[in-house]
Amino acid sequence: MTVIAVREPDLARPEGFREIFDAYFEEIFRYVAQRLGPDDAEDVVAETFLTAFRKRDRYDPERAGVRSWLYGIATNLIGKHRRAEVRALRARGRMAADRDVSGLADVVAMRVSAQSLGPSLAGAIARLGKGDRDVLLLVALAGLSHEEIATALGIPYGTVGSRLNRARKKLRKALGGTNPMEGDHG
Amino acid sequence: MDDLRRIRELYGEPAPDQAARNRVRARLEAERGPAPVSSRRPRWTPLLAGLAVMAVAAVAFVVPRLHADPTGTDKASVLLAAAGAAAAVPPAKGAYWYVKRVVNGSDVKELWAGRDGRAWTREHKGTTTVTTKTDEPFTLNGHPMTIAQIEALPADPGALRAHVTDMLGGVPERDRGGVVADALTGLLWSKPAPSGVRAAAYRALADLPDVRYLGRSTFGYTVRGVERELVIDARTSQVVKASTAGRTEVVLVAGWTDEKPAIS
């Protein structure tokens, strides 16, 4: 077994760029569609890959993987569509309520969770500051590490942890429960 | 409280949108300008894909099928169109059968298999790349196959299905359909099956009751209780994506090349 070298598809080559598109389109599309809804996602995803192509000279493989770099670009573009994001969240809140209420067993418990959780979780996410929401969703939806988020958004490593903690605290408060056992984990 | 899990539940999983993918790709090609022709670039013969190499996580999951076509008309028409496209692919030459795929959106895996029996896999995970020499790069229902044996498989759908079924050995009756479907799909992309064999595999799949059409060029079948899905491009006969319990493989390249793997 031979360990060779770092290698990511080469952005400068058209073939390399195509490989990156093929490898990451679905994942980036899913993330953007989750945040903005499918109607606005297509434009933003196209813009994400175009931006990546235009700014390929600025991409530094030593600092970030292609994946987190693309998430960073997509996240910045999503920030320009605040209205679409709130609209999508409002729709999600309603959908969560409908889905829960139409469930099979334990209707009462579901109705409670639908009314108090679905809409208010969506509402609480919508009310977060942009920076806090970006970090929270890059963790929850994209599964990026703190380090990847720091390079993707161009913020210090420590800031990722503090934003995440602040966002989670606000969500817990909005959901009406505070758990003293869950402290800050930096 | 697992707030991250609740957030994921709130957001759900948007369905993959092949049409959006094609539109965005076309836009990128248009705005980037045409790709320059490179003479250094090895010429891949686009061919296709196999589930046989996929590690199977032993987790069964059941997803409600919303767009299943009860009549089977779409299933047959899509698979037969793919069979026609497969048959039209000209014979390919090259020293190495090469497959490149992306696993779960991040890890890249490559395989080179030479006609002389030597083979290597290369895995790019995060920032490391590991190249490993491998024996037996191809198996069919657990039986190791050489490239010559794969090329000699029957090019008649009935004969191919019978040949694959003969290799099942101790597989219980109820699992046979799924296992046969799995072996046939493996001939579509992961193995160097010639055009006639690939076309026969598509035709045999069209006849298998265990294969379901899920809409959007996606087919599903169950192997020993585990759901699998295959997305194809019927125009080219290429397998685009194969997925099973928590694992998704996007096929980037599957074809013959003369380019050797760079081995240090």
Q: State how far residue A70 is from chain B, nearest Cα, in angstroms.
A: 12
Predicted local confidence at residue B12, as pLDDT: 81
Concatenating the DSSP letter of every residue in A1-23 gives: -EE-------TTSHHHHHHHHHH
CA quadruple B114, B119, B123, B129: dihedral sign: negative
CB-based contact B203:B215 (threshold 8 Å): no
Q: Tell if the CB–CB gap between A8 and B36 is shorter than 8 Å.
A: no
Predicted local confidence at residue B257, as pLDDT: 87
B128: confidence class by pLDDT, cuts 50, 70, 90 = confident
- Entry pTM: 0.46
B56: confidence class by pLDDT, cuts 50, 70, 90 = very low
- What ipTM goes with this model? 0.78
A48: confidence class by pLDDT, cuts 50, 70, 90 = very high
CB-based contact B111:B98 (threshold 8 Å): yes
More confident residue, B30 or B85: B85
A158: confidence class by pLDDT, cuts 50, 70, 90 = very high
- Walk me through the domains of chain A, giving residue ranges and CATH numbers: 14-174 (1.20.140.160)
Nearest to B10 among A3, A41, A121 (CB): A121
Nearest to B252 among A22, A41, A168 (CB): A22
User: What CA–CA distances, in Å, run from A126 to A32, A43, A102, A152, B6?
Assistant: 15, 22, 25, 22, 15
CA distance B73 to B68: 11
Predicted local confidence at residue A178, as pLDDT: 47
CA distance A162 to A132: 9
Nearest to B146 by CA among B118, B125, B167, B170: B118
Give the residue from chain B lying closest to A21, CA to CA. Answer: B25
A122-157 residue pLDDT tens = 888 988 889 999 999 999 999 899 988 998 999 999
More confident residue, B171 or B215: B215
- The least confident of A14-23, A112-121, B196-205, B215-224 is A112-121
Q: State how far residue B133 is from chain A, nearest Cα, in angstroms.
A: 7
Average pLDDT, chain B: 77
A63: confidence class by pLDDT, cuts 50, 70, 90 = low
Q: State how far residue A104 is from chain B, nearest Cα, in angstroms.
A: 16
Q: Tell if the CB–CB gap between B36 and A14 is shorter than 8 Å.
A: yes
Residues of B with CB under 8 A from a CB of A: 1, 3-4, 6-14, 16-17, 20-21, 23-25, 27-28, 31-32, 35-36, 38, 41, 102, 105-106, 108, 122, 124, 126-132, 250, 252, 262-264
Predicted local confidence at residue A9, as pLDDT: 59
User: What CA–CA distances, in Å, run from B189 to A55, B124, B142, B240?
Assistant: 34, 20, 17, 9
Q: Tell if the CB–CB gap between B7 and A140 is shorter than 8 Å.
A: yes
Residues of B in contact with A1 (CB under 8 A): 130-132
Q: State how far residue B91 is from chain A, nearest Cα, in angstroms.
A: 24
- The least confident of A3-7, B79-83, B118-122, B160-164 is A3-7
Q: Tell if the CB–CB gap between A4 and B23 is shorter than 8 Å.
A: no
Report, as an integer, the average pLDDT of B46-66: 30
Q: Tell if the CB–CB gap between A3 and B32 is shorter than 8 Å.
A: no
Residue recorded with tokens 């047959």: B76
B52: confidence class by pLDDT, cuts 50, 70, 90 = very low
More confident residue, A174 or B48: A174
Residues of B in contact with A93 (CB under 8 A): 10
B216's enclosing H/E stretch is none
For chain A, the residue count is 186
Asked whether residue A90 carries a pLDDT value surpassing 60, the answer given is: yes
Report, as an integer, the average pLDDT of A30-47: 90
More confident residue, A12 or A81: A81
Number of C-beta neighbours around residue B142 at 10 A: 12
A110: confidence class by pLDDT, cuts 50, 70, 90 = very low
Q: How far is CA A103 from the centre of its chain?
A: 28
What's the burial of B79, exposed, middle or buried (CB within 10 Å: 0-12/13-18/19+)? buried
B126's enclosing H/E stretch is none
CA distance B121 to B190: 13
Asked whether residue B149 carries a pLDDT value surpassing 70, the answer given is: yes
Number of H helices and E strands in chain B, helices first, is: 7, 11
Asked whether residue B161 carries a pLDDT value surpassing 90, the answer given is: yes
Nearest to B11 among A2, A7, A34 (CB): A34
For the CA atoms of chain A, what is the radius of gyration? 19
Nearest to A30 among B14, B129, B263 (CB): B14
User: What CA–CA distances, in Å, run from B126 to A8, A60, A114, B195?
Assistant: 9, 14, 39, 36
Nearest to B41 among A2, A15, A33 (CB): A15
